[in-house]
Amino acid sequence: MNPIAFLSDIMLQVLQFFAVFTAGNYGWAIVLLTVAINLALYPLTLQSIVQMSALQRVQPKLKEIQEKHKDKPDELQRKMMELYKTEKVNPFGGCLPLLLKIPFFLALFFALQSAEFRNLIAASGVNAGFLWMPSLSLPDPTIIMVVLIGITTYFSQSTMPTAQTSQTQMMSMFMPFLVAFISFSFPSGVQLYWVVSSAVAIAQQVYIVRVRV
């Protein structure tokens, strides 16, 4: 079986499970699913933000090493590795939660565009839409969700501890517009997932930075 089709089938089954608790409202089922995914990944999110905060903390030392050994690539690499080891920093430790969320996103993306999902929401007693959105299998015609995606993406980036450089600042300004543009044609169920996931991520990041780091 195609891996994407396999993941989509699983996602549909999970959505049906959550829909039992929402009286057939698949919008709320998506919200519950999204919260559950983020809570399940919280330990990894915690470790990720701890690592990113540590990387941010060692930036002055890292810049000093880069300046001192800029003409000696091998020495620069060795000193950087020594710094990471001494400070117990994993420069790639902040990527894992994001990478783990990708399969969930892809599975939901294809599941909500499938004929099986359209049949589910067309069944008697099932709410095909959610709030102002007429159908979770179609894009939000009001583009409110697109705007919310841009806003939540911006604040999700803003609450994430990162080394402040001109490149990261430019990326923080550009990325929300890019993500919002890409999401324009997404089914509103996927748009809902993205907004809720970003909102939960913001809450987790603020909590971790203020209380745990």
Q: Is residue 80 part of a domain?
A: no
Q: Is residue 40 part of a domain?
A: yes
Sign of the four-CA dihedral 119, 123, 125, 128? positive
> pLDDT tens string for the chain (213 positions)?
566 677 778 888 888 888 888 887 888 988 998 888 888 877 877 777 777 776 767 666 767 766 766 666 676 677 667 666 776 666 665 666 667 777 777 787 788 777 787 777 776 566 677 888 888 878 888 989 989 998 888 888 777 766 555 566 676 677 888 888 888 888 888 889 889 988 988 888 888 777 755
Structure tokens belonging to residue 158: 């803003």
Q: Is residue 82 part of a domain?
A: no
Q: Is residue 123 part of a domain?
A: yes
Q: Is residue 180 part of a domain?
A: yes
Which residues constitute the domain of residue 19?
3-54+94-212
pTM score, whole prediction:
0.74
Q: What is the model's pLDDT at position 148?
A: 92
Q: What is the model's pLDDT at position 206?
A: 80
Question: Rounded to an integer, what distance in angstroms lies between the CA atom of residue 138 and that of residue 133?
Answer: 9
Q: Is residue 69 part of a domain?
A: no
Strand partners, 127: 25
Query: How many structural domains is the chain composed of?
Result: 1
Q: Is residue 177 part of a domain?
A: yes
Q: Is residue 106 part of a domain?
A: yes
